[in-house]
């Protein structure tokens, strides 16, 4: 998994507020509104315990603090444990946590101890970014381009296909692309060197890769939305400006909101 850095998480509240206003402009609802509508849940009085984890590459500076800020932003009462790992888990439960948030290098989970529901960040992130893309008010068709069909991208692309979108997709890994074609009915489309029926432009693009500049100008239609959890960003700031792209991109909060709302 591509790991976050403290730099990615700088000014997380500001990043979240900016993402929220873009999501509102693009869909007519804010992130909270989309989560409520999509999962049919609302936070009530669930206390969230955030447990730092030292295994593998260890603690990421600002990770737990960012989760604490994000939980608060979405209306949850949260705290970070003093101790990490197993001792931290024990501390969280002893201090009344009903939801646990914790991540090692492979898995970032949210576990609701009251109802037993558990969420994984990767599918929750893919699904909510795809859901945001699917709600684009100015979309010119039900065609969407999905680039990156890995642990975040595949569930997002599956969600779009399941919602009735015609999904054009690409992954640099041929096996993953073939799996998406056979199991989701995705139409192969390499944005960088398209084959077959020539160049297409999209007003909805969903991207989930760990690479920069994966979306070339040639596939971006006027008033396009790019909904992308992928870090670094799929397009440069210059291209975003030049093409008037509505960019939904934020490093941690939208996916975490999706996890929390999904387990209420």
Binding mask 100-129 for ligand NAI (x = CB under 6 A): ---------------------xx--x----
Q: Is 151 exposed, middle or buried (0-12, 13-18, 19+ CB in 10 A)?
A: middle
x/- mask, ligand PYL, residues 61-80, rule CB under 6 A, reads --xx----------------
**Residue 59 interacts with which of ligand PYL, Mg ion, ligand NAI, none, CB < 5 to 8 Å by class:** ligand PYL
Q: Least separation, in Å, of the C-beta of 105 and ligand PYL? A: 5
For residues 235 and 260, the answer to whether their CB atoms sit within 8 Å is no
251 binds ligand NAI (CB under 6 A): yes
In the list 170, 189, 202, 261, the residue contacting ligand NAI (rule: CB under 6 A) is 170
DSSP 23-42: HHHHHSS-HHHHHHHHH---
Measured distance CA(70)–CA(66) in Å, rounded? 6
Residue 105 binds which entry of ligand PYL, ligand NAI, Mg ion, none, CB below 5-8 Å type-dependent = ligand PYL
Identify residues 209-228 at the interface with ligand NAI (CB under 6 A): 209-211, 214
Total interface residues for ligand PYL by CB under 6 A? 15
Q: Is the dihedral of CA 134, 18, 37, 251 positive or negative?
A: positive
Q: Which residue matches tokens 């007519």? A: 28
């Amino acid at each position: 998994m591509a790991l976050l850095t403290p730099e990615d998480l700088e000014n997380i509240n500001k990043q979240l507020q900016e993402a929220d206003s873009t999501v509102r402009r693009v869909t007519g609802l804010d992130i909270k509104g989309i989560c409520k509508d999509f999962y049919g849940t609302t936070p009530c009085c669930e206390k969230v315990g955030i447990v730092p984890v030292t295994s593998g590459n260890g603690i990421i500076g600002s990770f737990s603090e960012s989760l604490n800020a994000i939980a608060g932003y979405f209306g949850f009462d949260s705290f970070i444990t003093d101790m990490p790992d197993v001792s931290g888990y024990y501390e969280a439960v002893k201090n009344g946590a009903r939801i646990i948030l914790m991540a090692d290098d492979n898995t970032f989970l949210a576990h609701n101890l009251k109802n037993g529901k558990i969420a994984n960040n990767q599918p929750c992130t893919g699904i909510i970014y795809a859901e945001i893309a699917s709600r684009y008010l100015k979309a010119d068709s039900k065609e969407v381009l999905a680039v990156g069909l890995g642990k975040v991208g595949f569930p997002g692309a599956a969600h779009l296909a399941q919602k009735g979108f015609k999904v054009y997709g690409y992954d640099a890994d041929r096996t993953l692309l073939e799996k998406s074609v056979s199991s989701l009915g995705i139409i192969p489309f390499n944005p960088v060197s398209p084959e077959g029926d020539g160049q297409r432009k999209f007003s909805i693009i969903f991207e989930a890769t760990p690479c920069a500049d994966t979306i070339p100008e040639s596939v971006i239609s006027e008033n396009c939305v790019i909904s992308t959890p992928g870090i670094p960003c799929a397009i440069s700031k210059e291209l975003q400006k030049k093409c008037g792209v509505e960019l939904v991109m934020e490093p941690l909060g939208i996916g975490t909101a999706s996890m929390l709302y999904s387990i209420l």
